[in-house]
Every structure is written in structure tokens, then in C-alpha cells.
Structure 1
Amino acid sequence: MAAETQLGADISWTDFAEFTQQLAERIRSDRIPQTIVGILRGGMIPAVALAHQLDVRDVRAVEVTRTLSDGIQAEKSSAPRLRNPASLGNLVGRDVLLVDDVAGSGTTLAHTRRIIAGLTAARLRTAVLCVNQANWLLPQQPQAAIDYIALRCEGWVIFPWETR
């Protein structure tokens, strides 16, 4: 299923369940990964949901962020920052799915992808619930940079687990 596009998104728990189910079906048809890595903090929620739907028990976390706070339109650092790289463990030869809740500029996901690729995973795919195309900075389009996208929007995204 192709991701739909809308203006900013206020995602409900029902939407979240539908989006993760859609992503799981697409991922399953392309082979179930051995390891799922969620980008802390927001990416862990869809990562765990996908792990349950795909019956993947090896779930890991990595903290890579550009945002300096949790507010709407929060200030960003100039480059993504990695904290606690040891949390990824040994990924040599693994089929890995990297998951985040939202790809804004795309730089955090791309940076984390390079880190995991450097750990010699055998296969590396990416999945996000939403791409905020209004903030996209990478030279390639989101669909070329991300393997699985549930939703495309042109504005700020609010997830059900976020403080409003």
C-alpha cells in the first residue's frame, strides 16, 4: 500500500494501530527481519509494535537525535548526535529493520542507517510511521531513502503518546 499524503497529522491510537499493521504486512511480504532497532524515544513505540506483529524478539534501541526539546517546531542541533552506541550490540550478519516514528529532515534516519551499516548488518531496511515532507532535506525523495512509509504529511505530526 502506498502512503497517503495529508497536511499536518494528529495521529490517534487507532491510526497508529492501522499504520503499524500496514507496515508489518509490507515488511512481512519482503521477509521478516531478525532484529528491530528503534530510534529513541519515539521510534521505540512503533518498533515494539512491529516486533509483536512480526513475532521478532530481538528488539534494540539507539539514541540518535537532532531535536533539543520535545516542543512543536523544537530547535535542532546542526547534526544528529549518537548516545550509547553499545546499545546496538553485535549486528554482524543480521537482517535489521531500523524504525522511527517520524522522519522530518531525514538526517537522523540517514545518520543512524550509516551507523548500523558500519556494524556490518547483512541487510538493513528502514520504516517510519510518517514523513514530514515540509522539512525534508535529503537530496533523494523520502520513498528512495526509506523502505517503508505509512503516511506522508506536509506539517507537524503529533503522536498519541506525546503531551499535547
Structure 2
Amino acid sequence: MAPSSTPSIRADRPGPTYVTWDDLAAATGALAHQVTAAGTPQVVVGIVRGGMIPAVWLAHRLAIRDVRTVEVTRTTSDGINAAKSTLPTARNPASLGDLTGLDVLLVDDIAGSGVTLDLTTRMIRDLGPARVRTAVLAVNRTNWTQEPAPHHHIDYIASLTDTWVVFPWEAHHER
């Protein structure tokens, strides 16, 4: 699905984009609208750490009580423009539990190259859900390495950006 026509996360200046809580509310609202147009999932899975807050917000907006986590990471630290490992690392995939036959929405804060989201989607599909959909607050087009474009890999995208995105829960967020 294509990103919403009104970006919720602004990237209108060079350097990092600093997302506010209001931006986050708008972005999760846009994603919830996109998701419900295709049916409400039964389970929301957040990729720890960045995807947890948007996953919980989406679960509340969608009235879904089954929220799960999985830790998959590629960024090696929390700083702006932090280095990335070659491949994502998954920890404790058993935390996903039994997803057999369920409609699952996988949520992350940002997709850079798309590699972390792809690995996590494959992990979830291996658990036998009826359906897996993906949602992100933002896609950093500068880092996107896959063909074709992000909207062919990710079902719901709140915004597209060309800069590093700093979310309000991150320690280095400017106010």
C-alpha cells in the first residue's frame, strides 16, 4: 500500500528529522486508518526497541489487546547515524508465541534498508499465521537498498524521508 498522501513525519530540513509526540500521534492515526481499510488484525507485534511504542499506540487505536514483541536489531548503538551490522540479529524469537492461523501486524519505527523488517517478517511467517502485514512510521529512502520501491515490501507507511529520524523516546532527542 502506498504511503499516506499527507506525511505525518516531516523531513523538510537537512540533518536529522526530530519527530514530536504530536507527529507520532498523527502517524499512528494514519497507519491505523490504512490498516483498518484492509481489516483489523488479531495480533500486533512490535520490533524491540523502536517498534514497541508505535506498536502499542496502534494496538490501542485498533482496539487490539494481543501485543507481542520480538527483538531484532541491526543498528549497533543509539547515536545519530549509528553504524549497522551486516545482518540483523534476532534474539528470543520464542517471545512471538503461537501465531498459527492469526492475522498479524508487524510494526517498526523506521525502515532503512528494509533488511530487519524482511527478516522479522520471515520469522513470523515461519510460525504459520494466516496473514502477515507490515507497518512503519517512516522509510528512509536514502538507505533503502531493495528493489522495487519500499511500498512493494511494506504494507503501510506513514511517511517517507531522506534523513536520519530521531523519535521522541530516544535519549538524544532535541526538544
TM range (shorter): over 0.9
1:25, distance to aligned residue in structure 2 (A) = 1.0
Aligned pairs, how many? 164
Secondary structure of 1:74's counterpart equals: coil
CA distance in 2, matches of 1:2, 1:141: 16
Q: Is 1:2 equivalent to 2:10 in the alignment?
A: no
1:38–1:62 Cα contact (<8 Å) kept: yes
Pick aligned residue for 1:93 from 93, 97, 101: 101
The residue number in structure 1 matching 2:79 is: 71
The residue number in structure 2 matching 1:26 is: 34
CA distance in 2, matches of 1:152, 1:9: 11
**Structure richer in helix, relative to its length:** 1
CA distance in 1, matches of 2:6, 2:90: 29
Q: Which runs of 5+ in 2 are unaligned?
A: none
Secondary structure of 2:57's counterpart equals: helix
RMSD between superposed Cα atoms in Å: 1.2
TM-score where L is the length of structure 1: 0.96
Q: Which runs of 5+ in 1 are unaligned?
A: none
The residue number in structure 2 matching 1:155 is: 163
TM-score where L is the length of structure 2: 0.90
Q: Is 1:105 equivalent to 2:108 in the alignment?
A: no
Name the aligned partner's letter for residue 22 of structure 2.
Answer: T
CA distance in 2, matches of 1:139, 1:119: 26
Deviations 1:80-128 (A, max 9, x none): 1110011000001000000000001110001101111111110000000
Q: Is 1:141 equivalent to 2:149 in the alignment?
A: yes
1:29, distance to aligned residue in structure 2 (A) = 1.3
CA distance in 1, matches of 2:138, 2:119: 18
**Structure richer in strand, relative to its length:** 1
What is the aligned-residue identity percentage? 55
Q: Which portions of structure 1, spanning 4 or more consecutive aligned residues, are displaced by more than 4 angstroms?
A: none
1:3, distance to aligned residue in structure 2 (A) = 5.8
The residue number in structure 2 matching 1:125 is: 133
CA distance in 2, matches of 1:61, 1:83: 11
